[in-house]
Every structure is written in structure tokens, then in C-alpha cells.
Structure 1
Amino acid sequence: MAEDDPFEGIPDDPTADLDAATQQLTVRVEKRRYDKPVTVVEGFDTNSVDVDAVASRLKKKVAAGGTVNGDTIELQGDHSDRVPDLLREEGFEVT
């Protein structure tokens, strides 16, 4: 019979959630060429968060294309109603 692992459930990097919680993100919608809306998420600290991974998860959840431009995520379409809630689920603070 195996003993219970005292470290079970503890993440490999317990500071990862703290890094996300300390960042103030903003979500806005811009009109681009031909009046196409683009949802822009700004305010990531690229030293503590993998912005590419966050962008990939967001793109899958909203079923849209997008890109990472420095510390900014740009998603095709107007997702301003859904993206803030998705970011809060991941532990980010959205203003």
C-alpha cells in the first residue's frame, strides 16, 4: 500500500498564481482595417507570465485567431464580454 504524498496538490511553482494575481490587465476593442473589431489585452509582465501560452488558451476558448505583440494579446473579433471572465478564471486581475 502506497503512502500518501504530503506534497500532492501543490503546484511545481507555487508563485505562478501570485504572478498572475499581481498583474493589472486591461481589455479593450479597437476597430481595424475595414471596421473589423480586434480585442486587445494589455498589461502582461513578460518576465513572469508566458504570454504565448495565455494567448493560445484564449484563442481556443473564444474560437478565434489572434497574435501576441510584445506584452499584448490581440484576438480577432469583439470578445470584450467573455475575455475578462476567462482571464479572471486564470487568476489575473482585469480592470
Structure 2
Amino acid sequence: MKICEICGLPKDLCVCEEIAREVQKVKVYTVRRRFGKLMTIVEGIDEHDIDIRELTKTLKSKCACGGTSKKGQIELQGDHKRKVKEVLAGMGFSSDTIEIK
């Protein structure tokens, strides 16, 4: 059985990630890239507390788009600001701390 290094509970019962989700200040905005394509950028998520690769994978599947995670940001192809906020709120992030620009 693996033990969490932060809280000392077994990994199955660990609540560190859930607590971290509630206090994150997430910014969601779009930028224009090459050839006028829109990219939705999600930033402000601490990589040490939350598995950003798993979060990227979930957002890509829920938004039905391509994307990647670079430099602590999640980049999604297309304009998905509203959908990202809904998905993040459903995953336990506080909707008050998700800022859409």
C-alpha cells in the first residue's frame, strides 16, 4: 500500500488533490495563433498539486478537441472557454475561482 507524502494517508484515501482543486485560481482565455486559429489557454493550475497531464486528457475528451500541456498551461484547439469552466467545476474546482477573460 502506498502512502501519500503530503498528508500521510493511503493513496486510496488521499484528499490532497481535492483540497488543492478548491483553492486554485484558474484563468481561461483564448488567443489567436497562426492562420487565425483560436486556442483556449487554461493557466494557474499548480503542477505539483494536480496531475496536469491527466487534467489535459480529460479536458480534451470532454471538449472533443486536440491540445497539449506546456509550461504549466493547458492549450486546447478552438474556443472552449464556457465548456472548460463547466468541466472544471464538475471536477471539483470552485467556479468562483475560475476566471474567464
TM-score, normalization by structure 2: 0.80
Partner of 2:35: 34
Using the alignment, how far apart are the partners of 1:81 and 1:19 within structure 2? 22
- Runs of 4+ in structure 1 deviating by more than 4 angstroms, as ranges, are none
Structure with greater Cα Rg: 1
The 5 Å alignment of 1:7-26 reads: 12-26=13-27
Question: SS at 2:29's partner residue?
Answer: strand
The 5 Å alignment of 1:1-95 reads: 12-93=13-94, 94-95=98-99
Q: Is the 8 A contact 1:24 1:92 kept in 2?
A: no
Residue segments in structure 1 that go unaligned for 5+ positions in a row: 1-10
- Identity fraction in percent: 34
Question: SS at 2:89's partner residue?
Answer: helix
Question: SS at 2:18's partner residue?
Answer: helix
Q: Deviations over 1:2-43 (max 9, x none)?
A: xxxxxxxxx521222111111010100101001100000000
Residue segments in structure 2 that go unaligned for 5+ positions in a row: 1-11
Write the letter of the residue equivalent to 2:69: V
